[in-house]
Structure formats: structure tokens, C-alpha cells
Structure 1
Amino acid sequence: MTFTRRDFLGRMAAGAFAIAAFAVPAGGLLVGGPALAADPVKVGILIPGSKSDKGWMESGYDGLVAAQEKYGDKIEVQMIENINYADMEQALTQLASGNALVIGVGGQTQAAIYKVARRFPDTKFSIVGGNESEARDNIAGYDVKQAEIAFVAGAAAAMLSKTGGVSYVGGLEIPSIVNAGKEFGNGAKYINPEIKYFENYTGDFDDVAKSKEATLAAIAQGADIHYHILNLGLRGMEQAAKEKGTHIIGSYTDRCGSDPLYVAYSVTGVGFQVHYAIDQYLADTWTAGYEPFGLKKGPMASDMIICGGTPEQKAKLKEIMDKILAGEIKVLEG
């Protein structure tokens, strides 16, 4: 079963509440929602990149929007976006000072959250994309299992490639991003052992020029299907693919039909986890500790969709996902 972005927002929202338009003043601080009811739960969220990046950050923002549609004036949201790494601790301190729950969207928030959480023991912190780490009573880490679904994306890429070549561009060369790249290549080789696989890292999730350069280099060597873990850097991959007539497998959210450049999407449930953190807090079931998501949490947490895929392609992807769940195909952490 697959879900589009519209499906996601519809499924996650339990009512017809429409959020007010957001205006972001100077400094990136956003306060959301219409007139609030008495004693709303205060939720702070840090989106380090752009909420309109077509990737991880936008998926996280979709989850926030869905939660606001569901809960209306039961929650009051403060959001900070587009923050440099050097300013992350300060931004999280600001959020922790005035909110009961603080959500960091991205593993890059984890180090700063661990520093700030020590000073705010009564505030709950949820890390979307968090890795297993030191246990803290007020920190929950949600692992999206990117390497797991990257294997399936690699299989889809090999099915779709006409040239017998696929490529991957990651941002920071850190274990979770590298492991996803390795598993994308492994998934492609699972379908076609002879496939050519090209892997590159730009050192920055938002560097458009470097991601374009890396994608063009892969195209020159024969790649015609591209996968990524990028934020705004995805714009560079799009530019290269458009110029050379190749295609992209999108990450994070199913947007099939929105852009012919994209032939498939992997779902990694970033927005699902943002919504999950808010659900858990409001239900008084929020718990600290590491929690793996991925395929075992269902298609809203992790899925692979070939846009207009054939029955044979869909069946093969399901078979691969079932084998991963059963442990017959083993993938790296991350």
C-alpha cells in the first residue's frame, strides 16, 4: 500500500481544522496557528534546513502541518528553520525555554539536543533521525532506517535504468548517509549484478553546485537513474537530470505525478515521526530512548513506490521488503 503527500496529510489529520498561513519574520522564528484555546501544549520544532526543500525537511514540515490540522488549538507551535550548525544549540535553547516538547528534525540536531537537554530536564526532546546513543530520561531518538529503504530504492533504480548505470549523491559523509549509499548500491546489484554504480558525497546537504557536478559526472559515466540524501542540494541533481534527460528517485515522501523528472519515491516517514512525537506527548505515552521505525512500522513510515510501476515491479519490491523484514536480506544500520 502506498501513500502520496496528499494521502499523508489526510491520513494523519483527524479533523477538518485548517491552519492559518505562516509568516516567517526576520531570524527564522515562526509561531503558528490561529487564536489558541486555554492552556495549549507548547511544541517547539527545529527544522535545520528549508521546509520547502522537496526532501527531508519538507517531509518533517508536512508532519507538523498534519498534526496542527488534527489538534487545532490544543497545541501551540514555535518553529525555527534554516539554522547553521554553529547556531543549533542556541536555537534549541530558545525552543526548550518555552516549550514542553522540542523536536529536532534530522540527525544533525542530535549532538546539540544532548547538550541542551541536560539543562532542561523537564522538557521532552524527540530526535527525528536519531541514532542509538546514551540513554537520557528526556530524550527520544527515532531511527528512520534510511539504509533499509535505500536497498529497496537501489533495486527499483536497477529495474528502471535503461543504461545499466545508477548513482547516489549524499550530503555529509557520516555513517548513516554512507551506509544508505552502500545499501543503494547493494540493492541495485541484487537486481543486476553487472550494474554500474556511482557514489559521491558533497560534504553539504544544501550545496546545489556540488550536487549538480557529482550528478553530471555520474551521467557522463553512464548513470541514468539517480538517488540522493540531500536537502536543497537536490536542486543541483534536478538541474543535471533535466539537462541530460535522466531521472531521479525521490526521497522521504511519495509525490508521484507531481514532476516527470521523478520516476519513483522512497518513503522514510520523517513527517510521520514528527506527528508521532506530538501524538505520543498529547496521549501521555511519550517515552525516552531509542526507537527504530523503518519497514516494520508500515508504509507511512517506510515504503518504496515506482510511479506507474508494473505489477511485476511492485511484486518484486514487496518481495524484497518482506525479505528485509524477515532477516533474509541483511542491511547496514543507518
Structure 2
Amino acid sequence: MHLPEWTRTALAVATVSPLLLGSAGIMASDDSLDVAMLIPGEIDDNGFMEAGYEGLLQIESELGATITYRDRVPPESQALEQALAALAAEGPDLIIAHGGQNAEAVLAVADDYPDVQFSVTQGGVTADNVSSYEVLQEESAWLAGAAAGLMTESNVVGHISGIRVTPGLKGRGGFYHGLMHTNPEAEFLTIFAGDQDDTELARRVTDAEAEAGADLIFTMLNAGRQGAIEAMQARGDVHQFGNVREWHEEYPDVFVGSAVADVSMAGFLAAKAMQDGSWQPGEIVSIGLENPDAVRLSLAPSVSAEVRERVATLTEDIAAGRIEVHTDYEGPEFVVE
């Protein structure tokens, strides 16, 4: 669903009239839940930001809430704080700040609006009127790394992301530890290239990691992922694991799997808790592999039964606590000249 252009706001309009706040669908009744969302990116990025927006639409359709949002806000402190303040000034029941890059901005603004509740998705921060809801994408990323360790033929596995935010760092760390669990001799190439949405940058970095020997690459990108897809289609000898949603049905020639982490559920569950009275400030709610609708490793039909069976066993081990998913990484970073 795409809304009229005037509903989509950026830094340039971060402090304009509240009439420019976006909304979708039929407005709910006066006593319904009022939810606003800050999206530091674009709602049609085929990735993390779009998933958050879809969660907001679910809040409207399933909870009957009134919704507003701001997207295209640069992930910079001043811009995020201004956008949050503009949303909070309208007095919604709940503001969902979608993405860990909003965490510090929420903490800076929340004190000024004590009657508004804030939830950060993938943020891990709390305060008197702040909670966090986290879909544990590092768990599906760990499984993707484990599968990559079993499947690589070159014994070189890559990872590409854009900006160094906490969820991305945790996902990278999870993938690395999964890789080391099944193939401790594999070489790991990892880079945060600086932009989630730059297709040309993603294409160039993909080619560089492929030239360095990687035959499987885990991409944690948004709109920039298209550049990685096109680079792999042109080469034909490199494949990728995607993230956030399933990709192999759309691009069967490129994707061998996807570390699914349906981050739309984080915002939805926060709003649902607000509606039913169970929302609490000062808590971090985690959603992991025990909820396969939210977190799982999806594998393409071409993946062998042997790999599938191993991944199924590892999934059970993580969910049961027999394997701890570590998210640290202190190894070398890949550099593109």
C-alpha cells in the first residue's frame, strides 16, 4: 500500500504542521488506540523499514488504531529528535521508533513527553516511559551462518551491511558464530559499507568479496540489496542469504536462504500490549526462534536434505537453550579500495 506523497516526511519537513503527518486508511474512533511511528528510512525499501511500516498497517487493520508516521528521516541525532518531538506533540498513546538507530533519540526526547509512551524496535533501551521490543534476528542469522559453513565450496563466506547499528552488529556476530560452529576453518569477510540503500555501493562491495573468494554472502541491506542481487546475477557463481523476509521465491537464481526476522511483529506486539493493558515501561521484550512466525531460517528448495536436517537440529538446540547465540565479533574487517 502506497500513500500520497504528501504523507511522507523527511528532515526538511520535520518541524512542519502536524497536518503533514502521514496516515493510512479509515480513521478509528475517538476512544481507539492512537499510534505513531518513526521510520528512519523509506517505507518501500524492500527491507527493514518496509517491514516496520507493514507492522503499522497491521496495527491499524487488526487493532483498529489510528495511525500516523514519518518516514525518510535521516538516521542522524538532530533529525530523529525533531521528528520524534513533532510526533509526540500530537499526543499519541504510543510512539514506535522503528530501529535501533532511534534509541538515543528516544531517550533524549521521552522525558519531555511523560504522557506519551515510547517503544523502540530492535533498540534495547528503557526509561520511565520507554520500552523495547526486539525480534532476535541474531538467532536466524546464526542459523544462516551455520548453513553457510556447511554449504560453502570455496571455504570463504562474506557478510555485507550498511550502517553500524546495534541490531546489525548483533546479526553480523550471530552469523559469524554460526559459521564457526559448523566450519571453524572458513574465512570470514565482513564489511559495513556505510549505506543501507546505495545499490551501486552494494554491487561494488559484492564484486569485491566475490573476487576475494566468497561464494556465499549474507546481506543485511535495505534498498541496496538490489545491487548485490544484480552483481550475483551477472557473475552466476556467488549466492546469498537474505534477511528480514524470504527472498528465494522471488530470486531463485541468487538466494539459497534467508534469515527471516519479521520485525513488523515488534511494533505490532508493542501496540497490542498497549491496547490490552500489558505494556510496561522499563522492559525489553524479546521474540526469538520459539516463535517461528517471527524468527526462522528459510532455505531454498535446492538446499540438500542433509543441511536441512542439521539446521533443524541446531534450531531446536538454540530454542532449548543448549546453544547460546553469541553476538560479539572482534575479527578483521574487509576493506574495499
Q: TM-score range by the shorter chain?
A: 0.7 to 0.9
User: What is the SS of the residue equivalent to 2:37?
Assistant: strand
Contact map agreement 2:100 2:123 (CA 8 A) in 1? yes
What is the percent sequence identity of the aligned residues? 28
Match of 1:62 in 2: 54
Asked if 1:243 corresponds to 2:237, the answer is no
Distance 1:316 1:183 in 2: 17
Asked if 1:44 corresponds to 2:25, the answer is no
Deviation >6 Å, runs of 4+: none
Contact map agreement 2:139 2:289 (CA 8 A) in 1? no
Number of residues paired by the alignment?
Answer: 311
- TM-superposed deviation, 1:77: 0.8
User: What is the SS of the residue equivalent to 2:112?
Assistant: coil
Match of 2:188 in 1: 197
Q: Could you say if the C-alpha distance between residues 183 and 27 of structure 1 is closer, same or farther in structure 2, counting changes exceeding 3 Å?
A: closer
Asked if 1:301 corresponds to 2:294, the answer is yes
- TM-superposed deviation, 1:169: 0.9
- TM-superposed deviation, 1:24: 2.9
Matches within 5 A, 1:217-296: 217-245=208-236, 246-260=238-252, 261-296=254-289
RMSD: 2.2
Give TM-score, length-normalised by structure 1: 0.85
> Which stretch of structure 1 is more off in the superposition, 177-186 or 116-125?
177-186
Deviations 1:66-109 (A, max 9, x none): 232213xx311101111012311111111112211100110001
Distance 2:2 2:170 in 1: 38
- TM-superposed deviation, 1:174: 4.4
> Which stretch of structure 1 is more off in the superposition, 174-183 or 120-129?
174-183
Of 134, 149, 153 in structure 2, the residue corresponding to residue 158 of structure 1 is: 149
Task: Supply the AA of the counterpart residue of 2:65.
Answer: I
- TM-superposed deviation, 1:43: 0.8
User: What is the SS of the residue equivalent to 2:233?
Assistant: helix
- TM-superposed deviation, 1:206: 2.6
Distance 1:235 1:316 in 2: 30
Match of 2:137 in 1: 146
Q: Could you say if the C-alpha distance between residues 259 and 325 of structure 1 is closer, same or farther in structure 2, counting changes exceeding 3 Å?
A: same
Asked if 1:209 corresponds to 2:209, the answer is no
User: What is the SS of the residue equivalent to 1:249?
Assistant: strand
> Which stretch of structure 1 is more off in the superposition, 169-178 or 42-51?
169-178
Q: Could you say if the C-alpha distance between residues 291 and 192 of structure 1 is closer, same or farther in structure 2, counting changes exceeding 3 Å?
A: same
Match of 1:23 in 2: 4
Contact map agreement 1:110 1:130 (CA 8 A) in 2? yes
Distance 2:155 2:287 in 1: 28
Of 177, 183, 195 in structure 1, the residue corresponding to residue 174 of structure 2 is: 183
Distance 1:26 1:277 in 2: 23
Of 83, 103, 117 in structure 2, the residue corresponding to residue 110 of structure 1 is: 103
Of 294, 307, 315 in structure 2, the residue corresponding to residue 313 of structure 1 is: 307
Contact map agreement 2:149 2:182 (CA 8 A) in 1? yes
Deviations 1:268-321 (A, max 9, x none): 231111111111111121112232424254112211110224443332112112
Contact map agreement 1:158 1:191 (CA 8 A) in 2? yes
- Structure 2, unaligned stretches of length 5 or more? 10-20, 329-337
Task: Supply the AA of the counterpart residue of 1:22.
Answer: L
